[in-house]
Amino acid sequence: MIDTYKIVSRGRFLFFFIALVLLGAWVINKAYQKHFNQIQITPAEQESLGIDLLEFPRNMKPIENLKSQSWTSFYVEPENCDTLCVRTLAQLEQIELDAKVAKVTSNLEIQVINNQISGYKEYLSLIRSPGYSQHFDRILLINPKGQFAGSIIAPYNLAHWQALDKRLNQ
């Protein structure tokens, strides 16, 4: 005769064993992500550089004409360009003009993405998704792996750009 107590006991053991294995796998996964995806810039240094980096960079569709293997940036121009958008675009143009006048080159490229570029809707939905909306009106950063890694906080000028380029692409 099979004891029902033993069947229940084995079932509980199996349930708790599987739950423990799943919990362990989840903890290892989170530790792996934190260890290998963490950007080595402290929050205080981020604040002084004027950037806001994500804890876990997010994969995204590659942007044509942007360098790989170095930090780059892009700006998603809203379909209806408001005052903030116009000001941001003017600041980006001024950075390019100042760089030409000063004969300065930068590895931190800026790509403006408007609604005529393929994949526009994907980039727009990326920055409007939950957890990323604080980056919406900013210039966005792409890490050397091609992942959305954070944003640059305004105001934008050549000195700010050079400091970012020096620190990120060293």
- Averaged pLDDT for residues 52-79: 83
Domain that holds residue 84: 41-168
Q: How many structural domains comprise the chain?
A: 2
Same domain for 89 and 147, yes or no, is yes
Same domain for 143 and 157, yes or no, is yes
Same domain for 154 and 76, yes or no, is yes
Residue 5 has pLDDT above 60, yes or no: no
d(CA 72, CA 111): 8
Same domain for 79 and 111, yes or no, is yes
Q: What is the pLDDT of residues 110-141, one digit of tens each?
A: 888 888 888 888 888 887 777 666 666 788 88
Q: What pTM, to 2 d.p., does this model score? A: 0.70
Same domain for 2 and 56, yes or no, is no
d(CA 48, CA 57): 20
Grade residue 66 by pLDDT with cuts at 50, 70 and 90.
Answer: confident
Same domain for 106 and 133, yes or no, is yes
Least confident of 71-85, 90-104, 127-141: 127-141
